[in-house]
Structure 1
Amino acid sequence: MEPSSQSPDSPDKELSGDEEALMKELERAGLPRREFLKLVSCTGGSLLGIQLLATKNALAQASTAPAAGAAAGGLSVELQVNGVSHALNLDPRTVLLDALRETLGLTGTKKGCDHGQCGACTVIVDGKRVLSCLTLAAQAEGKVIRTVEGLAGDELHPMQEAFIKHDSFQCGYCTPGQLCSAVALLEEAKRGEASFVTKDLTAGTTSLSDDEIRERMSGNICRCAAYPQIVAAIREVQN
């Protein structure tokens, strides 16, 4: 009988059921089949030895993969934030909230529900309120972005002063989003934009009733229930 010509690391080498299962798992982690078969030969078929050596090799190979992938798939984005231009290289899936907080270090904007339901992540883009957790960073390229840090530079914005005066917060987590919404809604009113409770669409809405303010701020949740004080602060600033 002729001797088998199959080498120890042949891709056709027969494996046990356990070895097949382990090999598939390690292939998903980045270890090639041929490398796995070499390890089988080196360890004399000991499943524990194979697992230890193969896992070590797979992790070593995988450790360099993310950096290469990130560089290859990066997207060049230029963001204008609070009057400063930032050239960034981001994963195309990066939302504006994460770009502001994690990349630019502007942590005033908060991550609340991360589903566009609470308003904590509200920023102002081209004069309009935007939920930054639902907005891709790439969508904001070429637009003017204002966060709570940029409402008035080193000074306090009148809305910030009014929030302090009326004690319009308790824990303060939602406050950056509340402030950005409050500042933007007054600009919306100046432009004559109506809300769901606007009674006369032809009259303009430069002077807002408490009902108007509550309706326009309804997308910003305050779990501390400082709503009456928030309305009072906005009413004072608009007057």
Structure 2
Amino acid sequence: MSLTLTVNGADHVVDADPATPLLYVLRDDLRLNGAKFGCGLGQCGACTVIVDGQAVFSCLLPAVAAQGRKVLTVEGLGTAAAPGPLQKAFETEQAAQCGYCIAGMIMRAKALLDAKPRPGEAEIRAGMQPNLCRCGTHMRILRAVRRAAGLPANPAVPA
């Protein structure tokens, strides 16, 4: 079946089974490899992209459900030569260790900051909670989100 998907502001026609997870269409058909396959169960967040402003696990979303909606991947935020503000914040804070989760983390942070540009510490932690970093750079990731939001690097965390 032909599907028309709007990804990073451009329309793409792909021939895919409607039930194919969006993640596979992004990676295999569109060659956008930022979103990663982690668990396939929506539990790790490595595959996170933004659909109509909401962070979603692309491993769980059927490609047909993305038709008529705006999909944003990490590739739509900037490039290695000209990183976007979130990408730059993650780089400055050295938030990536192995890098596998980072695209999903950046996309989750983008959705959070688009919805609430200056979130509180609890909102940042709750907003980022669905995504996991197996290398344990969570504190650097939180600093990167705070940096991108223009917040203090190390706020007092309420008990």
Structure 1 runs, 4 residues or longer, greater than 4 Å off: none
> How far apart are the structure 1 equivalents of 2:54 and 2:82?
22
Deviation track 1:39-87 (CA, whole Å, cap 9, x = no partner) reads xxxxxxxxxxxxxxxxxxxxxxxxxxxxxxxxxxxx2210011121111
Tell me the matched-pair count: 149
User: How far 1:155 moved relative to its partner?
Assistant: 2.2
> How far apart are the structure 2 equivalents of 1:91 and 1:208?
39
Which residue is equivalent to 1:101?
27
Amino acid at match of 2:99: G
1:159 aligns with 2:86: yes
Amino acid at match of 2:92: K
User: How far 1:224 moved relative to its partner?
Assistant: 0.6
1:121 aligns with 2:121: no
- The answer to which structure has the higher strand fraction is 2
Q: Which has the higher contact order (CA 8 A, sep 6+)?
A: 2
Q: Which runs of 5+ in 2 are unaligned?
A: 151-159
1:211 aligns with 2:122: yes
Deviation track 1:183-216 (CA, whole Å, cap 9, x = no partner) reads 11011215xxxxxxxxxxxxxxxx3222221111
> How far apart are the structure 2 equivalents of 1:123 and 1:155?
20
1:230 aligns with 2:157: no
1:78 aligns with 2:4: yes
User: How far 1:125 moved relative to its partner?
Assistant: 0.9
Identity rate, percent: 46
Residues 87, 106 of structure 2: 8 Å contact kept: yes
> How far apart are the structure 2 equivalents of 1:225 and 1:185?
21
User: How far 1:171 moved relative to its partner?
Assistant: 0.2
Residues 78, 87 of structure 2: 8 Å contact kept: no
Which residue is equivalent to 1:111?
37
Q: Which runs of 5+ in 1 are unaligned?
A: 1-74, 191-206
> How far apart are the structure 2 equivalents of 1:213 and 1:133?
23
Which is greater in Rg?
Answer: 1
TM-score norm. by structure 1 comes to 0.60
RMSD value over aligned CA atoms? 1.2
TM-score norm. by structure 2 comes to 0.89
